[in-house]
Structures are given as structure tokens and as C-alpha cells.
């Protein structure tokens, strides 16, 4: 059941990305370019995502446990540190330069393979470097 719900959620998420054109880097860069030729159309997508999150937390607060898992997996860190600032800055810079974040980047493997290959390759290398850095600091 867990796998089917995960698959369904992934499909709905992917269809939402495609339908809203968040898989199109030109649209995303147009949304992020608030001082240039700004395209505000993705505000509806962002507001919808916030609405879904609010509904999700409301459901979570009324239930002891999820329907198909033993416990809720909610982030526990509540402080802002240098890792959060640097990581979010790098994410934002990469998103602004390329027009891709991980979800739409995966879709680019099919609808724009040249860019998608470079983006996913960089994502894997960056994730690997982060993993190795964390492993080195834990010793």
C-alpha cells in the first residue's frame, strides 16, 4: 500500500509540475527574474503548494500516526545555521541560473535530455560531495 500511495503522489506531483510549466526552465527563470521581464504566473503554483502543506499539517495534527506508516517524519531542527543559509543560497542560485530544481530536473531527462543530463549529473556529483564531506566530519 505504501508503494502505491508513493507512486500516486509522485505521479500527481509530476503532472502538476508539467501542467504548471514548472518543468520549463524559461518559465521558471521568468518567474524568478523580478527585476527584468517578470512572469508572475507561478505565484498560483506556489500558493497552491503552501495550501497543500497547510492542509497536510492540519491532518497531521488530528491524527496520532499516518495511515500507511508507523510514525510521522517531520523535521526536528528549529534553528537557522550556516549549513541552512549556504545550502539554501546554493539551491536558489542553481535554480535561478538553470531554471531547474530536482523534480523538474528529472523530467528534463525526457523533454530536454541535453540539459537534463548535465543538471542530473551535477546533482549527483554535488550530492556525492556532500555525502563524502559529512562522512569525513563524522570520523
pLDDT tens, residue by residue, 17-28: 888 888 888 888
SS3 state at 139? coil
DSSP class of 41: G
Supply the range of the domain harboring residue 82: 2-138
Distances in whole angstroms, Cα of residue 38 to Cα of each of 16, 25, 27 = 21, 14, 10
User: Residue 111 pLDDT > 90, yes or no?
Assistant: no
Q: What pLDDT is stored for residue 95 in this prediction?
A: 86
Q: What pLDDT is stored for residue 101 in this prediction?
A: 86
User: Long-range contact list for 44-50, CB < 8 A, 24+ apart?
Assistant: 44/20, 45/16, 45/20
Residues 121-139 pLDDT 10s: 998 998 999 899 888 888 6
| Grid coordinates belonging to 15 | 503532472
Into how many domains does the chain fold?
1
| Whole-number Å distance between alpha carbons of 138 and 39 | 44
| Whole-number Å distance between alpha carbons of 29 and 125 | 23
Residues 62-90 pLDDT 10s: 998 888 888 888 888 889 999 899 989 98
pTM for the model: 0.69
Amino acid at each position: 500500500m505504501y508503494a502505491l500511495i508513493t507512486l500516486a503522489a509522485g505521479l500527481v506531483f509530476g503532472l502538476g509540475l508539467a501542467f504548471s510549466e514548472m518543468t520549463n526552465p524559461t518559465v521558471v527563470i521568468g518567474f524568478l527574474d523580478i527585476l527584468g521581464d517578470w512572469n508572475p504566473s507561478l505565484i498560483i503554483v506556489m500558493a497552491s503548494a503552501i495550501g497543500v502543506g497547510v492542509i497536510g499539517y492540519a491532518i497531521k495534527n488530528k491524527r496520532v500516526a499516518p495511515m500507511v506508516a508507523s510514525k510521522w517524519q517531520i523535521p526536528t531542527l528549529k534553528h537557522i545555521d550556516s549549513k541552512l543559509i549556504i545550502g539554501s543560497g546554493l539551491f536558489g542560485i542553481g535554480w535561478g541560473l538553470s531554471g531547474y530544481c530536482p523534480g523538474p530536473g528529472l523530467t528534463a531527462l525526457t523533454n530536454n535530455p541535453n540539459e537534463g543530463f548535465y543538471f542530473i549529473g551535477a546533482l549527483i556529483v554535488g550530492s556525492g560531495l556532500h555525502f563524502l564531506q559529512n562522512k569525513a566530519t563524522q570520523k
